[in-house]
A and B are shown apart, each in its own frame.
Chain A
Amino acid sequence: MLLLVLGDAYIPDRATDIPNKFKKLLSVPGKITQIAVLGNSTRSVEFMNFLQGLSPNMTKVKGALDEPNLSIGENGQATNQASESEAEMPINSVISMGDFKIGCCSGYSVVPKNDPLSLLALARQLDVDIMLWGGTHNVEAYTLSGKFFVNPGSCTGAFNSDWPVVINPGVVESEPSKKINDEPDKKAEEESQVSDEKVGNTEKTVKDNEAESETKEDTESVKEEDIDIPESAITGSNSPSFCLLDIQGSTCTLYIYIYIDNDVKVDKIVYRKEDVV
């Protein structure tokens, strides 16, 4: 069973479309059992139709800028009508698949934002094994306290108004099993020794970036129009990405698709429920 997870498309206000290669990749009818849309993706009728075509089973959770009425916008739309539409889009949602319970949230209601312990608390509240969240425009996956956390990033690489995502270009090629000990809480470290994995975001400081750029600009004659501004510097977002979860009984295989240099790179991580003691 395949679960497609994506979010933060921001079409049309911040992006025009998902990459064509994503479209081709996804356009295999009947393959996808379920779609989880993690917010900020429902404004584009075209995009929604595209998703609807992939699978009729779609769970949407409300993102910061989701206002479904807007796309059908009539001028004096009544507020109770608005709440009715919102009723279709909850803050949280839970999907049962195989042996897994999977929680969805867009991430904007998590305080502090992107905080693993907050997410863990939410996962506990929703009683789920896998927590899907969005809102950061950065693809991530890790395990914590035996639960699996997946952020599919933005499927369009849309503009991110939050602090820019730090991207290590080598991140996709990095071993998925590579251990990264950047748990916020040292006291939880012992636990993460065996099973905690984290992908998608490794450390690279802003200072490093600045140092690099400073070395290039020693010639005084450089003109503004000659400088190429990298896309990521403008959007503050990671490259377009989405995730597929292949769920077979108690095994969940996560595939991460990232669009880099006009190409799609795929990463794979396996999460098993037995891992939990």
Chain B
Amino acid sequence: MSYADSLPQAKSAVKQNTVLMQRALQQHSLMDALKYASQLLQQLRNPLLPPQRQYYELYVMVFDTLGELTLYLVQGHKRGRHHLADLYELVQYAGNVLPRLYLMITVGSALLQCNDETVPQAEILKDMIEMCKGVQNPTRGLFLRYFLSQMTKGLLESLMDLPFSITFLTTNFVEMNKLWVRLQYQGPLKERDLRTKERKELQILVGSQLLRLSQVIESEEADQEENFTVYCEKILPGILEQMVQSRDVICQEYLFDIVCQVFPDNYHLETVEQLLQATAQMNPQVSLHKIIATLVQRLIDYVEREAAPGKQGGRSLFDIFWQYLEKLGDERPDIALVEVLDLVSNVITLNNCCDPENTDNLNKLYSLLFTKCKDFAVNDEATEDTVQQQQLFVELMTFKEVKRANLIVVNCPKYTELLLSIHPRAQLQAIESLLNLFLDQSDDWVVETEDQFMKLLALCKPATALISKEGQETVPLVQQTVAKWCHALVRATTKSRQLRPITKQVQLLLSLKNALHEGTSQSVSCTYESLITLWWQLIKKCDFLRSRLPKNKSSYDTSIKQIFKYVSRCITELFNVVGPSITDRVFKLNLQTASIADQLSLPEISYDFFTQALTVFEDTLSDSRTQFQAIVYMTQILQRTRSLRTEGEDYYDNLIVRTTLHASKLLKKQDQCRAVYLCSHLWWATEIESLGETEDDAETEGQFYREGKRLLECLQRSLRSADSIMDNMQSCELMVEILNRCLYFLIYGEEAQTRVSVNYVNGLIELIKTNLNSLHLEQMAELKLDDTSSTKTPQRVLMGQDGSVLKVSKSNGAVSVVLPTAASTESVAELATIPADHFQRTCAYILQQAALDDRFKAITV
């Protein structure tokens, strides 16, 4: 009798014999039934079936069939049809060992089910398990013993005492484990991987034995303490011994995991040292971090569920794990950093669960990693870190809650040290995510003391210092994050009463400045503006507090003046560190600070910043476009100052004259023209809403600075520039722009004040008309040359504030802009419409306005 060639054949053989067996049983022909059972069992001898799928499938069929047989055997025995003790001997005549043992177990377990007092039950159980040794083939042996375990399930618990059951199950487990380990070495060498796969598929059979053990121990109604003692003294040492002795990686990893999973977690708490001890003896290839992770998770489950203190025999879990880590460090220097990392991060998780406030523990762990990193020289650029390792570091170094992050950074000095020592890429990633956490949850972030502030500040140091080492592409993002983070950091300090006072804030910002100053020029260029904004805000705070606490006015006055000095220094440093590329910004920062000083009625300080701005303009602003825009910006800001004229010295006059002078000296005539006509506003102050000013008040009090004569001079000067431009189109357009300025002043004030008269406007209109005519002639001439050009303008052409040409598509969409510096490819014909159209619109406006204002009726369009 042999086995079939394939699974389908084997299955059909089993089915066929099952049917025959069932028929024999119906006819109470037991001998035949046993014969068929033995025949179908032959199929399980088949060595060709892959264990997981096919063999298992077959096993399940056989199991079902033998289950029916068992049922019959028990009933037959009870009715006296046969004696199972005889059958137990009878089936042993089977010539092949595997069918013989299946039958023995079937009959034996049936006999046990009858619960016959006269039967030596323990002996039968012992005999069955002992005889199973006859099957040494791993797959067949595993299934056989699994069968034994299935068939005796429940019987052990009900018939035997605890020690016996445990011995029985432990023995079976030990044997199964041996077979399972041995499976690895079956077959040819080249099939090792296949074996490994098969083993993983079969591992559950071995694991089931541990599950049975846990069931037995938990089903036992006896004293819980006694059960636990049994576990500690018998079960666990047995399992661990097997695990250690096997020297097999898969076995050790799997069994440890299963032990952690199937036995109650309170047991693990009590035996944690035994468990850890065992791991230290394992095969060096075992991934300790993985199995420790399971253990730690179980411990955490327990501690969380029971709200237990996480102590074992008076020692904290942390201490136990710490000792373990230290021991590993000594004995197993070979463990890869990535595994150490994982181990440590597990212990951190454990500590966070048991004793979250204990940052000393965490500090120890960070310290350990720090040392490890040094040993492995992770900071060495040459060592290629694995992505996984970097990822682990990032995970380890980042947090989910800002409060936690704050706590760790503040209380674990080694944390920051570690952060500084990890691989730059991971470092960058960790810092970025850390800074973003602080930003995202800034509402919950409080910085209590200066010391904390300094420790937190150390975080951004690597980010600012890192830049020069890393690629150019990614770094600015970190810089920007740091720049943002500075805001959040300072905000977090204002939530603390201790750090809130202005004097403290000044100190903190100075520390911040020092820290940022250490960065690279790129970093400074990005972060210093945040710093300057923070100073500005501090000035505003002082101002506000000054209004609320008049008794301290003088001290606030002093602070404000001092802070302006810090701002000045920051702007200077910014320029010094970054260099010429930042000139324009430095110019504008000076102007903005000047404006703020003016708002606080500090004319001297304001003047100082204005002059600094002018110095920058004169010394370093060279690009003509930038110069033009700078003058416009300066004009805008100066126009809104209020304090500069109030002192004895006329700072204002000084500044606006200088500005106008610069405007008139701009390189390009167009720029000159536009800048100068804008400068006219410097002699025509307008209301500022925040000050509650209105035109009416100004008139009555003469509060606004208005100098019509100079205003007109500017317009005239500007007109001269426009007139002298050779390009007819440009010239015309500028004149139309000046006309519009004139209209502005015409609306705003009486001629007596503005000196802009209707006559002047009429004269200007005449001039424009003349010029437009000549421009039209020029345009016509060109059209003759190229007749098609008039038809190929589906878009309108306009001119922007700075003389750039705007082409507006008629269809939906934005414009394309041609800047004045770019070489103009447009023909005169195309551009000639700009001033003409603009003039037309202006004329329409004059007519519109004439309906409201009689003076406009005097304008001849």
Contact = CB atoms under 8 A, between A and B. Distances in A.
**Are any A and B Cβ atoms less than 8 Å apart in their complex?**
yes
B547 A77 contact: no
B650 to A, nearest CB: 20
A85 to B, nearest CB: 12
A74 interface: yes
Interface in B552-609: 552, 579, 581-582, 584-585, 588, 592-593, 595-596, 599
Interface string A78-115: 01001100110011111111100100010011111101
A210 B472 CA distance: 50
A93 B817 contact: yes
Contacts of B171: none
A98 B633 CA distance: 34
B433 to A, nearest CB: 14
Interface stretch (B24-32, B365-373, B837-845): B837-845
A67 B810 CA distance: 30
Contacts of A175: none
Interface stretch (A159-167, A251-259, A263-271): A159-167
Interface of A: 1, 11-17, 33-34, 43-46, 57, 59, 64-65, 67, 69-77, 79, 82-83, 86-87, 90-98, 101, 105, 108-113, 115, 117-118, 121-122, 124-127, 145, 159, 161-166, 182, 184-188, 190-191, 201, 203, 205-207, 210, 213-214, 216-217, 220, 222, 224-225, 227, 229, 233-236
A83 to B, nearest CB: 7
B632 interface: yes
B548 A112 contact: no
Given A13-B533, A46-B477, A34 B798 contact: no
Contacts of B185: none
A16 B852 contact: no
Given A95-B813, A234-B540, A236-B540, A75 B579 contact: yes
16 contacts: A13-B529, A13-B533, A33-B812, A92-B802, A92-B806, A95-B814, A98-B812, A122-B801, A127-B796, A127-B838, A162-B637, A217-B548, A222-B548, A222-B549, A224-B549, A227-B549
Nearest to A136: B689
B726 to A, nearest CB: 22
Interface stretch (B149-157, B303-311, B392-400, B478-486): B478-486
A93 B497 contact: no
B539 to A, nearest CB: 9
B484 A12 contact: yes
Interface in B602-633: 622-623, 625, 629, 632-633
Contact of B502 (A69, A159, A220, A224): A224
A112 B541 contact: no
Nearest to A47: B480
Contact of B541 (A12, A64, A67, A234): A234
Contacts of A188: 747, 852
Interface stretch (B80-88, B690-698, B768-776): B690-698
Contacts of A224: 500-502, 545, 549, 552
Interface string B690-734: 111011000000000000000000000000000000000000000
A117 B537 contact: no
Contacts of B629: 91, 109
Given A83-B623, A124-B842, A96 B813 contact: yes
B135 interface: no
B747 A64 contact: no
A149 to B, nearest CB: 15
B537 A126 contact: no
Interface string B248-271: 000000000000000000000000
Interface centre among A13, A75, A83 (most CB of B within 10 A): A13
A156 B817 CA distance: 28
B815 A95 contact: yes
Nearest to A15: B487
A229 B545 contact: yes
Interface stretch (B176-184, B315-323, B410-418, B518-526): B518-526
Interface in B796-820: 796, 798-802, 804, 806, 808-815, 817, 819
A118 B747 CA distance: 11
A113 B639 contact: yes
B549 to A, nearest CB: 7
A175 B806 CA distance: 37
A45 B561 CA distance: 35
Nearest to B533: A14
Interface of B: 439, 442, 472, 476-477, 480-481, 483-484, 487-488, 497, 500-502, 521-522, 525-526, 529-530, 532-533, 536-537, 540-541, 544-545, 547-552, 579, 581-582, 584-585, 588, 592-593, 595-596, 599, 622-623, 625, 629, 632-633, 635-637, 639-640, 678, 681, 686-692, 694-695, 737, 740-741, 743-744, 747-748, 796, 798-802, 804, 806, 808-815, 817, 819, 821-822, 837-838, 841-842, 845, 848, 852-853
A159 B529 CA distance: 12
B632 A111 contact: yes
Nearest to A110: B636
Contacts of B815: 59, 93-95
Contacts of A101: 808
A125 B838 contact: yes
B853 A92 contact: no
A265 B282 CA distance: 65
Contacts of A165: 690
Contacts of A185: 695, 747-748
Given A83-B821, A163-B690, A236-B540, A45 B748 contact: no
A207 B690 CA distance: 10
Contacts of B550: 217
Given A73-B581, A108-B633, A127-B837, 13 more contacts: A46-B477, A73-B526, A74-B522, A75-B579, A75-B581, A93-B814, A95-B813, A96-B811, A111-B678, A113-B636, A185-B695, A216-B548, A236-B540
B692 A44 contact: no
Contact of A217 (B476, B549, B743, B838): B549
Contact of B544 (A34, A65, A190, A233): A233
Contacts of A235: 537, 540
Nearest to A93: B815
B493 to A, nearest CB: 12
A79 B758 CA distance: 45
Contact of A43 (B480, B687, B748): B480
Contacts of B811: 96
Contact of B798 (A16, A82, A126, A166): A126
A81 to B, nearest CB: 10
Contact of B852 (A46, A77, A182, A190): A190
A254 B582 CA distance: 38
Contacts of B501: 224-225
A208 to B, nearest CB: 9
A225 to B, nearest CB: 4
Nearest to A208: B692
A240 B695 CA distance: 30
B639 A229 contact: no
A1 B814 CA distance: 14
Contacts of B552: 224
A94 to B, nearest CB: 5
B536 A11 contact: no
A145 B801 contact: no
Contacts of B809: 96
A112 B819 contact: no
B439 to A, nearest CB: 6
A125 B737 contact: yes
A43 to B, nearest CB: 7
B662 to A, nearest CB: 15
B417 to A, nearest CB: 27
Contacts of B640: 112-113, 162-163
Contacts of B632: 108-109, 111
Contacts of A111: 632, 635-636, 639, 678, 681
B801 A109 contact: yes
A274 B202 CA distance: 82
